[in-house]
Structures are given as C-alpha cells and as structure tokens.
C-alpha cells in the first residue's frame, strides 16, 4: 500500500492562517509579472527596480524556499545557458494558492491604507 | 552544450575561485543557480562573496533549528565521538608503552629466549585485535552517521569531527573519571606516573595518539559515512540489518570504554567481572564489517564474472 506523504509545514501554515510577509509579496508579484522568465537573477532585478533597494541572494533564496514549503510557488531547475557560465536557472512559478494569498495580502494592504495620510484617496479630517 | 568561459567576464575575474569555494557550503542545485545568477548579472566579486557567504550562513543557521540535528547530536554524535576518542587514547597509550619497551629498549640478547617471542606475539595480537575492533567500530559509527537525513548530514559530520578533536585535546576519558570520582565525594589520588619514561618522549606523548586517531577512527568513519550514504540505495532488509549490526557494535564499544564500568550498576559490574574470560571475545563481535566487506567483494567478483560470461555468450 502506498502511504501518502504528509507535509506538516504546509498543514501548520493553514492551521495558523499566516498572512504572507511583505518580502514574500514582492517575490510573488515579481514572479507573476515575469511569467515564464521568472528565476533568481530576474526576480532580484525586478525587486531592486521596484523598491530601489538592494536584494541579497540570501534573502531571495531562503524566502523562495519558504514560499515553496508553504506551497505558494513551484521551482525547478532549467537548462544551462552560456551567459550564465554554463549553469542552470532555478525557475519559479506561482501556484493557485500563491495567487490567492497574494491577492488576499494586496486587498488587506489596500483596505488598511485607505485614509492613511500617504494615500491619494485619503479622508480629510477637520 | 557549447560553453565558452570567455563569454562572461565574471568568470575571468580575480576572486571568482573564492566565490566558488564559498558556494561549496550550498547544495549542488542551489550552487548552480546562485553562481549562474552572479555570472549573469556580472556582479562585483566583493559583493558576490558577501552574497554567497550570507546565503551559506543562513542555510547553516536553518540547519541549527532542525530538531533532528539536536537529537542526532545528543544520542549519536556526542556519545560516539567521546567513546571513540577514549578508546583511541587508551589504545595509543597501550601501543606507546609496548613500542617503547620493544623499540626504545631493544636488546638482541632477548631474542634468544622463547619467552620473549611468546610475549611479543601475544602483545602484537592483543594490540592488533584492539585496533581492528576500533577501526570496525569507527566504520559502524560512520555508517550510522551516513544514514542521517541529507539536511543534517553535513552539520552532524562536522560536529562529530569537532567533538572528536575536543575529546582528544581535553583528555576526555581521564576528565570523565575525575568528574565521576568528584561527584561521589572522592578525590583523584596522586599516584606516581609509572609510564613517565614513555610519556617523556614527545612522539609517544603528542603524535602517537593523533596517528592512532587518524588511522583507526577518522579514516574508517569517513569510509563508513560514504557506505552509509550508498546503503540508502540498498534493499530495506539489507539496510535494517546493517543499522542493527552497527548499533550492536556501538553498544560493545560502550562496554569497552575506559571508565564506562563506573556508569553501570554494581550487579552488572559483578556480572562482567565473573564473565571476564568470555568478555575478552566481545571485541571480535564488533568486527562484523570485515565479513560485510568480504561478502561485498565476493558479490562484486561474482557480478563481474557473470557480466563477462554474458558478454561471451552474446558475442
């Protein structure tokens, strides 16, 4: 009889109903924007362009692992290319759960930002 | 594929070997992806070093939060490294005394007495069996370490060698007996050192214990770890058998360790003393890897012959 492997980390993630973090959201959004071209170097460039800050490899790869453990992204190794010194890319794709969690985060951020002084649609108070 | 290193200036830069060396702390797939990303972005070497080092540190820190590592450290790595170091130090001490007796005080006149040859033969056999048992126990310990999950294998292996060296530097067996005596309200007696002429020699005092440790512990452990990793591919029954045999060998090692009898109850100590003649043969049981290696060689020889025969029939 084949025993189905149970991923306890994923179960715990759903039990505690964690919301994704802001860096996780940045990665998910970059991966969704890049589509089939989403891999380490391109995601870093995308995040650096959007935030204007440096994104370290350590932060990126450990967060990617965390997202994969939560089942929000799927990663696999691609083909080696000459411009990468004959090394493979770690390609990334957002899963359906990832899309759901990212849109939940975006809605929450949009809702909570309404009325804040830095948003354009702020409510003026006397 | 048609790969030319000159395509990317990053690879030709000085300091790139440092980045490659640092990346050895990562898994194969991740290493490939990270080095590829750095090469593609044509990152500055200093920045690349900081990035790769940061990732390696994060990965190692993640291993430390793995509960399996701490369980392995408490129940396998720590006791086994202590025991192996203790027995290696004991064997090195014994070897040093006999070497000093025979090599540093050699007298051709003694060779005329049959008693001299008898004692020499007995001593060599006793020391040889002791070293063989130690190497086999070390191999068994390596096999168990090699069977640990991949995620904690590197950290466990490094911890084992660090603890082994620490036990060796700190003369762990003597310290353990001293601690035990202190806890039971006894003071360490100041006995005269009967082996002072032997330990006065730098080779016997400093180098000999490390040579014994390297030859009969470190090397067999490394081979054992390699075999342990390979045994993952073998059948379930086979690796259950291997792990059981290795565990029994380590229990035997525990009984043999100097000072271990202090940890046992009085009844067990008395039983061991009454059966001391039979217990002398116990180290031989821990030599099971010898039979395993012979069986493996025989199996490989038969496989090669079968292949040769199949080739002949097909031609």
Domain ranges of chain A: 20-107
What burial class does residue A97 get, using C-beta atoms within 10 Å of its C-beta: 0-12 exposed, 13-18 middle, 19+ buried? middle
Q: Mean pLDDT in chain B?
A: 83
pLDDT at B287: 83
CATH topology of domain A20-107: Arc Repressor Mutant, subunit A (1.10.10)
Compute the nearest-CA separation of B150 from chain A (Å). Answer: 16
Please check whether residue A41 touches B, CB under 8 A.
yes
A81 has a pLDDT exceeding 90: no
- What single-letter DSSP state applies at residue A36? G
Residue B288: what pLDDT?
85
> What is the spatial distance between Cα B52 and Cα A105, in angstroms, rounded to a whole number?
30
C-beta neighbour count of B190 within 10 angstroms: 6
Question: What pLDDT is stored for residue B220 in this prediction?
Answer: 94
Q: Which of A42-46, A53-57, B126-130 has the lowest mean pLDDT?
A: B126-130
Contact residues on chain B for A41, CB-CB shorter than 8 A: 36-37, 40-41
What is the bridge-based pairing of β-strands A73-77 and A90-94?
Answer: antiparallel
Strand partners, A94: A73
Stated pTM of the model = 0.69
**B1, B11, B33: residue with CB nearest A40:** B33
Tokens of B97: 């005394």
Span B135-160, average pLDDT: 90
Residues of chain B in contact with residue A56, where contact means CB-CB under 8 angstroms, are 50-51, 54-55
CB contact at 8 A, B140 and B245: yes
Contact A58 B3 (CB under 8 A): no
Closest CB to A87 among B36, B57, B59: B36
Chain B contact for A3, CB < 8 A? no
Nearest CA in chain B to A82: B3
Say what the pLDDT of residue B1 is: 37
CA dihedral B8, B9, B13, B17 (to 10 degrees): 0
Contacts of B35 in chain A (CB under 8 A): 85, 87
Please answer yes or no on whether B41 and A84 come within 8 Å at the CB atom: no
* Residue A5 pLDDT greater than 50, yes or no: yes
Chain A interface, best mutation among B2, B48, B51, B57, by max A CB count within 10 A: B51
Q: Rounded to whole angstroms, what are the CA distances from B36 to A82, A88, B244?
A: 10, 7, 43
Contacts of A68 (CB under 8 A, 6+ apart): A74, A75
- List the 54-93 stretch of A: residues with Cβ below 8 A of B: 56-58, 61-62, 77, 80-90
């Amino acid at each position: 009889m084949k025993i189905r492997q149970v991923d306890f980390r994923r179960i715990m993630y759903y039990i505690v109903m964690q919301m994704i973090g802001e860096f996780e959201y940045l990665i998910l959004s970059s991966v969704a924007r890049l589509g089939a071209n989403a891999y380490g170097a391109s995601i870093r460039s995308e995040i650096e362009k959007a935030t204007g800050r440096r994104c370290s490899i350590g932060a990126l790869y450990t967060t990617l692992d965390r997202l994969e453990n939560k089942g929000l992204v799927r990663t696999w190794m691609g083909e080696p290319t000459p411009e990468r010194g004959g090394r493979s890319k770690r390609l990334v794709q957002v899963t359906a759960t990832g899309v759901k969690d990212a849109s939940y985060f975006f809605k929450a951020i949009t809702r909570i930002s309404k009325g804040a002084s830095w948003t354009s649609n702020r409510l003026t108070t006397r | 594929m048609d790969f030319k290193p000159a395509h990317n200036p990053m690879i030709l830069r000085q300091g790139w070997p440092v980045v490659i060396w640092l990346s050895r702390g990562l898994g194969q797939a991740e290493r490939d992806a990270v080095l590829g990303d750095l090469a593609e972005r044509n990152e500055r070497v200093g920045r690349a070093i900081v990035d790769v080092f940061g990732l390696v540190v994060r990965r190692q820190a993640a291993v430390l939060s793995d509960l399996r590592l701490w369980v392995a450290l408490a129940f396998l790595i720590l006791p086994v490294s202590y025991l192996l170091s203790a027995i290696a130090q004991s064997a090195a001490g014994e070897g040093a005394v006999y070497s000093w007796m025979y090599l540093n005080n050699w007298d051709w006149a003694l060779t005329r007495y049959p008693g001299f040859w008898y004692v020499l033969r007995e001593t060599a056999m006793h020391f040889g069996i002791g070293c063989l048992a130690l190497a086999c126990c070390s191999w068994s310990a390596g096999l168990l370490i090699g069977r640990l999950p991949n995620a904690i294998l590197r950290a466990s292996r490094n911890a084992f060698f660090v603890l082994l060296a620490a036990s060796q530097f700190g003369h762990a067996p003597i310290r353990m007996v001293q601690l035990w005596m202190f806890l039971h309200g006894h003071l360490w007696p100041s006995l005269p050192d009967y082996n002072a002429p032997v330990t006065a020699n730098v080779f016997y005092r400093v180098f000999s214990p490390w040579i014994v440790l390297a030859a009969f512990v470190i090397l067999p452990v490394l081979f054992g770890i390699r075999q342990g990793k390979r045994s993952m591919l073998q059948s379930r029954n086979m690796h259950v058998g291997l792990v059981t045999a290795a565990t029994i060998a380590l229990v035997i090692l525990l009984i043999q360790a100097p000072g271990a009898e202090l940890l046992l109850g009085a009844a067990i100590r008395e039983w061991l003393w009454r059966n001391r003649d039979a217990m002398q043969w116990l180290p031989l049981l821990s030599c099971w890897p010898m039979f395993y290696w012979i069986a493996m060689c025989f199996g490989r020889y038969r496989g090669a012959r079968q292949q040769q025969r199949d080739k002949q029939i097909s031609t």
